[in-house]
Chains A and B, each alone.
Chain A
């Protein structure tokens, strides 16, 4: 089975993240990049499926040069090879452009199964897996907390507000996984050393047959009009519990008409 895992480098959520004042895009230089946490579950799920069914795991990332750090992490976990879609023309791409560019790269790579994390911790739109399924014309098996493959059949448990749906489809398919579907492995020392020798192919916009007019900030289907640091919340009242803390909170809630 040919599995492609899409990973994204995102700013470390523990650091202060900013938008650039010039073009209102994420300031990627100002922060440390890390693997999007939810993508680690996708990598782990891909490795588990490969271990059970055989095949190959390819990592696909789209992003600037420093995103190679993210690729190495996924390779160190055990992925076989990687494709880095990188081009200045892609800077500032929104979800529509990104899904288009990624779909082009996926068509180029070929796949039986595409696996992604359910969302990224930076933009948090959660739309990319669905957009990819739409663009690729493949079944959408998203928000999965369980994935089973049997030959060319695939079934997942899709999380819903009321519990979950059992969903079935035929490969090729696009899957997104939720946190806690598995326990992502830590790269071993051997894995880290081996990752340095694994092949990483670079794809440009031209290589992936992406129409440059459909990507990047200039092509964006949505735009940031303005942004500002959120005003700090007005300082609240903080009191020490003197044995009547519960009653005091109740007074506060009553003053706000919650009770």
Chain B
């Protein structure tokens, strides 16, 4: 079976869910090889990759690979593409994942498809564009298909692969070492899952009314083990930090469940959440466009409904 490279996303040695999704997807199209870029490939991490189907695990454990912005990871993948001639390369469609894909495409003279929400036979990718208004099937016409796949595009399913480890050493070029990371600043984000990876997202908008009131949204999110998002109206008003903005100019999320509270559903917002599997809307305006998307909608005051919902969720757990 043809080899498919999957770039591993990890935090402090813990493999992220999106990587397990990518391995699951790769298994349906060929033989997945996980690519670990940087130090921290623990036995547990490698076992996890094998558990989800990695037949091979390439480990490039050099500290240098994570010491510079993006370029070293692209060089590592380019080296593997040249040595192994894989059928395709899959990366997570995170901001950095897409940048790696872009540089790799230039290096290997290959086409790249970003933000795929599905991938089928012949590496034909499905994309959802223009704020979810148009569905596109696209494929790479030249070189090795490089596809950046959105988190939550498929459910991760375990099915063991051989997990044969192979060490890889990369001699980085000078230009790959041009943008040096001198410090990593971790900001407190608490126990909540990451916004783009979360299976459930609870977002608040203009209707929330104030920064303090976002505690209501956070309460519901925590009861569901969800991430918290915000509409642009809410982040522009300074009620919630900008990095949690979901929408056209913010993050794009594709969770199993999206709960929009006090969000009208303007195109700006819809562009960031329209591919959610199930959408619940809570808004006091029955004419709000968010209700056109909602699988379930409640017309009413979120300040009454959300706390009641949180209590119900906690009660039924």
Contacts and interface: CB of A to CB of B under 8 A. Distances in A.
A159 B114 contact: no
A137 interface: yes
Contact of B134 (A95, A134, A230): A230
A245 B248 contact: no
B191 interface: no
Interface residues of B, number: 98
User: Main SS of the interface on chain A?
Assistant: mixed
B88 to A, nearest CB: 13
Given A133-B103, A165-B183, A245 B11 contact: no
Interface size class of A (residues with CB under 8 A): 35 or more
Interface string A123-155: 111111111011101111111000000000001
Contacts of B111: 94, 96, 220-222
A167 B178 CA distance: 10
Contacts of B310: 246
A221 B179 CA distance: 28
A166 B139 CA distance: 36
A229 interface: yes
B141 interface: yes
B282 A245 contact: yes
A156 B242 CA distance: 18
B102 A247 contact: no
A169 B182 CA distance: 10
A226 B129 CA distance: 13
User: Main SS of the interface on chain B?
Assistant: mixed
A99 B102 CA distance: 10
B28 interface: no
B267 A226 contact: no
Nearest to A123: B129
Contact of A227 (B107, B134, B248, B298): B134
Nearest to B274: A230
Given A130-B103, A250-B312, A167 B69 contact: yes
A176 B168 CA distance: 31
Contact of A221 (B98, B101, B112, B312): B112
B200 interface: yes
Nearest to B181: A165
Contact of B297 (A13, A220, A238): A238
A30 B11 CA distance: 45
B172 to A, nearest CB: 14
A229 B301 CA distance: 34
Contacts of A221: 105, 109-112, 140-143
A115 to B, nearest CB: 15
Contact of A134 (B74, B304, B317): B74
A163 B187 contact: yes
A117 to B, nearest CB: 9
A128 B114 CA distance: 12
B271 to A, nearest CB: 7
Given A96-B112, A245-B305, A245-B308, A239 B133 contact: no
A13 B103 contact: no
Contact of B309 (A128, A234, A249): A249
Interface in B265-317: 267-268, 271, 274, 278-280, 282, 286, 291-301, 304-313, 316-317
B21 interface: no
A206 interface: no
Interface of A: 13-14, 16-19, 37-38, 94-96, 99, 118, 121-131, 133-135, 137-143, 155, 157-170, 173, 179-180, 220-230, 232-234, 236-241, 243-250, 252-254, 256, 258-259
Given A96-B111, A167-B179, A245-B298, 7 more contacts: A99-B102, A127-B102, A169-B180, A238-B291, A246-B305, A246-B307, A249-B305
The 9 nearest A-B residue pairs measured at CB? A241-B300, A246-B308, A127-B102, A221-B111, A250-B312, A163-B187, A139-B178, A246-B309, A222-B111
